[in-house]
Amino acid sequence: MIELVLASGNLHKAEEINSLLDNGIFQVLAPKEKIEVDENGDSFEKNAYLKANAYYQLEKSPVLSDDSGLIVEVLPGELGIHSARFGGEGLDDRGRAELLLEKMKDVPEENRSAYFVCFLCFYLSKDEVYFFEGRLSGSIGTEYSGSGGFGYDPVFIPKKGVSGLSLASQTDFKDKNSHRALACLAANKFFSGKLGLDRP
């Protein structure tokens, strides 16, 4: 069993990661305290490392961090690693999603491509750090719909799944196919092999 402190105070993210990682391999714990990390990296991978390293210094034990976001092809540089800060201070999840819809209201369907990215960083020690990536392709819809997700899920239409439905309207699909689910699946497979466990 690998005990990991989650480098986040985001309850949604904590619940999701706990449900996706193999609980026969991992136990994910809440941090002693939430700390502010200067995420000044220029990629998801670098920011995941910065968070993991900062929490490792605090906890002195293995840490799991996540950095993820939404890439929208017609808005290069506006979201991505800045997804959680899109629109500036004062906006909540719904406000950011609705701002995105407003910015794209005149964009035709064929130009609304987007994808979610997740980088997980397993910081077991200073000399043992692993990264896993997951991606989910789709497009930005034209309305806010669904109650089963958070963040940009209600405006994201996955390429696979039920045609036309947002990710927030397809919780069963999201559980198995989200960017975070795919990154966790890769981690489960890697660590089960590393530990010599017999996993399907």
Instruction: Exactly one of 22, 38, 66, 67 is catalytic; name it.
Output: 67
On whether the CB atoms of residues 43 and 81 are closer than 8 A, the answer is yes
Is residue 67 among the annotated active site residues?
yes
The residues carrying an active-site annotation are 67
